[in-house]
Amino acid sequence: MPAVASILIVTCPVAGAQKADSQKSSAAQALKNLNGKTPAEYESQEKESAEMQISKTVKHCVAEVRRIGKCGPETCALDSDFYKNFDAFYNSAADRVENNVTLQGERKPLFVFNKCMAEKGLPLK
């Protein structure tokens, strides 16, 4: 009777292969979390969102400074024009907040503005 050989092949995963599969699945999950955007698009959107938040905070603080400069029905401070005319904006190209302070008398409104920005979590240098 002829001899019949049977071969049993057993496969077991290699530790490196499991790690690679785990990394692939983590990467796939991370890409799903980007809502269908590439990582570069997602970072760009996050940067725009941060810039919008800074701009909103600047506008809020400018409004606070101008509110101080409003005159009452019978009183008006001598330096109210400095407060009323104060302005600032976020320059995203330079990554800094610019303002229109040029005179020594405008230092008080600038202080109020900087204080407001710091209270909102965006201290200025």
Domain definitions of the chain by residue range = 18-119
Q: Residue 124 pLDDT more than 90?
A: no
Q: Residue 13 pLDDT more than 70?
A: no
Distance between CA 116 and CA 39 in Å, rounded?
Answer: 34
3 state SS of 11: coil
Sign of the Cα pseudo-torsion (77, 82, 88, 94, in order): negative
Q: What is the pLDDT of residues 31-43, one digit of tens each?
A: 555 556 666 666 6
Q: Residue 14 pLDDT more than 70?
A: no
Helix (H) or strand (E) holding 97: strand 96-99
Distance between CA 42 and CA 25 in Å, rounded?
Answer: 20
pLDDT computed for residue 4 by the predictor: 53
Q: What is the pLDDT of residues 85-116, one digit of tens each?
A: 889 999 988 989 999 888 766 788 899 999 99
Selection from 70, 88, 91, 92 nearest residue 79 by Cα? 70
Q: Residue 51 pLDDT more than 80?
A: yes
